[in-house]
Structure 1
Amino acid sequence: MRLAPLALLVAVLAVPVAAAAAPELRVTGTGTATAAPDMATIRLGVSHEARTAVEAMDRVSADLADVLSELRAAGLEGRDIQTSGLSLSPVWTDYSSGSDRKITGYSASNGVTVRVRALDGLGPLLDTVIGEGANTLDSLSFGLQDPGPVQDEARRAAVAEAMRKARLFAEALGQGLGPLVSLTEEGAEAPMPMKMAARALGESMPMAEGELEIGATVTMVFELSGAD
């Protein structure tokens, strides 16, 4: 069956015409926020060498037991104390001896990771556990018990920076800034030490906890609405 010319025209006009997609503007903004730390994480341990493996392990176990006892006596909770890094290895003669290498003894070590939530006691605590047998200090870092509010402050700063750049670019292009199409956040940055504070945490072992900086990065996509 053949359509009449008028019917064919009506059918063509009934087909919707796709509207051209609005141009888009993509911008990235970064922001930071700072805060004084309220927690420290330390990794310390005990290491000994002895003629036999049993003797080396016994010495490490005895000293580490004293260290753990002092940590608990200082008021640290069990959730903030974790032992890790137990190791035992032979001690060999060096190559310069001019003969075949031999085992001269054994080296044993064990470590403990501790979260200290009262920074005023950090220096004295380190003094105490070192006096009780801890002879290795692998790391000390400062952090926040609840980084969420500071992270949110950094996010707000990142969004504000992205908005500023979007308005600037749109104006430079002679366009109006349309509605927001999408917003994505890149991986949040871990707290980083910033500047050192003058206050010391302990008298015999002075510490400066400094200030932490947390960063955030967001990418925002806007429609451009044409010339204002």
Structure 2
Amino acid sequence: MTQPHPTPEAPQVTVRGEGRLEVDPELARIGVAVRARGTDRTTVLAALTSRNADAIALVKSYGDAVANLETGALSVTPEPARHGRGERVRGYQGWVHLSAELTDFTALGELTTRLADLEWTRVDGPWWALSPDSPAHAEARRQAVKEAVRRAREYAEALGSSLVALLELSDTGLAPGMPAPVGGTRMAFAAEAVESPAPLDLEPQRQTVTAEVAARFVMSPPAL
């Protein structure tokens, strides 16, 4: 559709509007990697399977606090001998990566601590985020639109004019809060602890949600 061209009788004003919110996170994501190492492939696979099952069972024991649990990459790698010729193998090591998403932050500190206390298990995170359908996204967009209208009206009033119609409104960029790798915690233990450690006290990281729109309006003829 061809947009009308501005004329002295129907001048136009184009503005940008921005919305910005600081909100509490709704999700916490953690990464879990279980490891096994040994000289025999079958033994390594058995240990890896057992440790992976223990980690999954522990995460699932937190019920509704865990919104999502996924198994990522699996790796079993031979370790070549340091000396000698040929394809001699001195051992094997394997990894299984898990990712979990929690909505209940009261359980987060305890779960991450207990996971890190498992044998040959590494925990990364947490990374804080908003859910994709968070109301914060819509609120930021509403703020951006209101800001665009306010700016356009101020320009029109400065000319002794007023807004007549909206010609175009476009979303120029939306940047919702994302998992923030900076400040994440990494915990790794290679042996079983004698007693369970105290849960970590993890403070949620505030999320920034921004929205930006471009709007074009028709104005009444200005009083110049």
More displaced, 19-28 or 116-125? 19-28
Aligned to 1:142: 128
Cα 1:116–1:183 shift into 2, 3 Å: same
Cα 1:35–1:89 shift into 2, 3 Å: same
Unaligned runs of 5+ in 1: 1-18, 197-201
Cα 1:98–1:169 shift into 2, 3 Å: farther
Q: 1:186 aligned to 143, 163, 172, which one? A: 172
Name the aligned partner's letter for residue 105 of structure 1: G
- Identity within the alignment, %: 25
- How far is the alpha carbon of 1:45 from its aligned partner? 1.6
Normalised TM-score (structure 2): 0.75
Cα 1:176–1:91 shift into 2, 3 Å: same
Greater helix fraction, Structure 1 or Structure 2: 1
- How far is the alpha carbon of 1:63 from its aligned partner? 0.7
Question: Any idea what the Cα deviations from partners look like across 1:105-137, whole Å, max 9, x if unmatched?
Answer: 222111111111210111111111222336222
Aligned to 2:210: 215
Cα 1:113–1:193 shift into 2, 3 Å: closer
Normalised TM-score (structure 1): 0.74
Matched, 1:224 2:219: yes
Q: State how far apart, in whole Å, the 2-side matches of 1:87 and 1:31 are.
A: 44
Greater strand fraction, Structure 1 or Structure 2: 2
Q: State how far apart, in whole Å, the 2-side matches of 1:47 and 1:55 are.
A: 12
1:79-228 maps to which residues of 2 (within 5 A)?
80-92=68-80, 103-133=89-119, 135-145=121-131, 147-171=133-157, 175-192=161-178, 204-228=199-223
Unaligned runs of 5+ in 2: 184-196
Q: State how far apart, in whole Å, the 2-side matches of 1:165 and 1:98 are.
A: 75
Cα 1:203–1:30 shift into 2, 3 Å: farther
Name the aligned partner's letter for residue 56 of structure 1: V
Q: State how far apart, in whole Å, the 2-side matches of 1:180 and 1:161 are.
A: 14
Q: State how far apart, in whole Å, the 2-side matches of 1:103 and 1:138 are.
A: 30
Q: 1:40 aligned to 28, 34, 43, which one? A: 28
How many residues end up aligned between the 2 structures?
A: 203
